[in-house]
A and B are shown apart, each in its own frame.
Chain A
Amino acid sequence: MNSLTSYLGHVLGHLRKDLRIEWRSRDSINGMLFFSLLVVVVFSLAFDPTAAVSRQISGGILWVALLFATVTALNQSWTREQNNQVLEAQRMAPAPASALFLGKALANMIFVLVVEAILAPVFIVFYNLHVLGNPWLLAIILPLGTWALVVNGTFFAVLGLRTRNRELLLPLLLLPISLPALLEMVQATTGVLTAELDPLQINTWITQLAGYDIVYTIVCLFLFDTVLNAE
């Protein structure tokens, strides 16, 4: 019990540090927000959808926009730790490495959730969206899908720290691994927006997405120490 509270204390410390750094610059959130806004505009111009079509495709567009925006922000999230050799200090610290990872992933999750909260009204305005299904289901789908992107993205971003072509490597690794999660979140979101899927099917997609989240959170926590200290 005591070790658990100290672990959570470490996670909270990392989370607080990341939130404070972000609060001072607000680089990640502003960058992601503008990027996803651009994707929304570009898709609108490219497809010029009617209300019915936009209901069909906006689930996919929302997640593609968030996926690319997340990638741009995640590339930056570990470079902050490289200033003044902070990462080396983290590796020598007696605190568990996975706490560092969890704090960072939670911070990134909060950033993306903020972006989603601002983006959702923009989506509804630009695509003339009128949600036909149960909109409260989106309150489950969005965090689950975001975590699926962020947990693996944070992990793969640290893989790229000491590699060549860092900016290129992250999407090359993240996209193939995330494809099932992307399928699940897009299907569930589109199902809610169009109300064409059976609620039971939407539930199955959400359960699968939750399963993906749980499996990859465990794998990431388990392997993070190996990756951080890879030499």
Chain B
Amino acid sequence: MPIVSRSAIIRSAAWLWFIAALAILAVGFREAIFIAPTEATMGDVQRIFYYHVPSALMGLILPYVNFFASLAYLYWRRRDPLKALSADALALASAEVSIVFVSIGLMTGMLWARASWGIWWTWDARLTTYLLLWLLYVSYLLLRRFSSSGESHTLAAVISVFAAVDVPIVYMSIHWWRTQHPSPVFSGNGSLDASMWPAFLWNVAGWGLWGVFVMLFRFALERRRQLAEQNDALTAIEASLETAP
């Protein structure tokens, strides 16, 4: 049996994943644009649904990855610093990718709202909650940028815990606030017709694969940056030892 290095296996697996994601996205595009029936009241505009909902779903799932990676970082911080660093890289990658998906969800939602409700934005419970999610993760990334490299991991993990605690509170308070004024905008939101499910599911699968791919790619990049940093530090220490008398 030929000896194959671990990185080569990972590399080919990544290529396979990438190609599979693109292929499924292509199928999803065909299903969504050409095969799925035109919606009765909204017309072709409804097809943005097949892109809006998968992005919104990813934007809701990836913050969990960020939260658990941050908890893992806080747990391993003193016990196993090397594992902690990779947990931190995962937290960073998932936060960045979830901001991208939440932004896409917000923007496609605005386009859809403009076409079907006639307004770009309304302070409806679901929209407001989602916007706050976006704000929380932008402030998370800003903190990472502003803090010095030595402590940014810890501070960011702490803020991630704060954000995770905030989301259910935001959800409850805003729903309670807005349910006092029932808004008619979601009344047209019935269940999905059976003929539309294939297009929806293909797109969920495609964007899910794509999102995980981008997140892992970003994770690998961050790991590489961390390793380079460690090597630099080691070289500096060795150099200082050699010059010592």
Complex CA gap A228/B85 in Å reads 20
Report yes or no: A159 in contact with B159, Cβ–Cβ below 8 A: yes
| Per-residue interface assignment for chain A, residues 170 to 195, with 1 indicating a CB less than 8 Å from any chain B CB and 0 otherwise | 00110111011001100100000000
Is B158 in contact with chain A by the CB < 8 A criterion?
yes
B154's partner among A168, A184, A216, A230 (CB-CB below 8 A) is A230
Which residues of B94-148 are within 8 A (CB) of A?
A: 132, 135-136, 138-139, 142-143, 146-148
Segment touching B, from A90-98, A105-113, A219-227: A219-227
Q: Which residue of A lies closest to B171 (CB)?
A: A180
Is A169 in contact with chain B by the CB < 8 A criterion?
yes
B149 to chain A, nearest CB (A): 11
Report yes or no: A183 in contact with B177, Cβ–Cβ below 8 A: yes
B165's partner among A162, A208, A219 (CB-CB below 8 A) is A219
Which residues of the other chain, B, contact A219 by a CB distance below 8 angstroms? 161-162, 165
A163's partner among B74, B139, B148, B172 (CB-CB below 8 A) is B148
Report yes or no: A162 in contact with B151, Cβ–Cβ below 8 A: yes
Which residues of the other chain, B, contact A230 by a CB distance below 8 angstroms? 151, 154-155
> Chain B, interface size: which category?
20 to 34
A227's partner among B135, B142, B158, B169 (CB-CB below 8 A) is B158
Is A82 in contact with chain B by the CB < 8 A criterion?
no
Complex CA gap A47/B141 in Å reads 35
A231 to chain B, nearest CB (A): 6
Report yes or no: B161 in contact with A223, Cβ–Cβ below 8 A: yes
**Chain B at the A interface: SS class:** helix
Which residues of the other chain, A, contact B180 by a CB distance below 8 angstroms? 201
**Chain A at the B interface: SS class:** helix
| Per-residue interface assignment for chain A, residues 15 to 47, with 1 indicating a CB less than 8 Å from any chain B CB and 0 otherwise | 000000000000000000000000000000000
Complex CA gap A180/B132 in Å reads 9
B147's partner among A163, A180, A184, A187 (CB-CB below 8 A) is A163
Complex CA gap A208/B169 in Å reads 9
Report yes or no: A159 in contact with B161, Cβ–Cβ below 8 A: no
Report yes or no: A204 in contact with B176, Cβ–Cβ below 8 A: yes
| Per-residue interface assignment for chain B, residues 221 to 236, with 1 indicating a CB less than 8 Å from any chain A CB and 0 otherwise | 0000000000000000
Residues of chain A whose beta carbon lies under 8 Å from any beta carbon of chain B = 152, 159-160, 162-165, 168-169, 172-173, 175-177, 179-180, 183-184, 187, 201, 204, 208, 211-212, 215-216, 219, 223, 226-227, 230-231
Task: List 5 additional A-B contacts (Cβ < 8 Å) besides A159-B158, A163-B143, A172-B143.
Answer: A159-B147, A160-B146, A176-B166, A177-B162, A180-B174
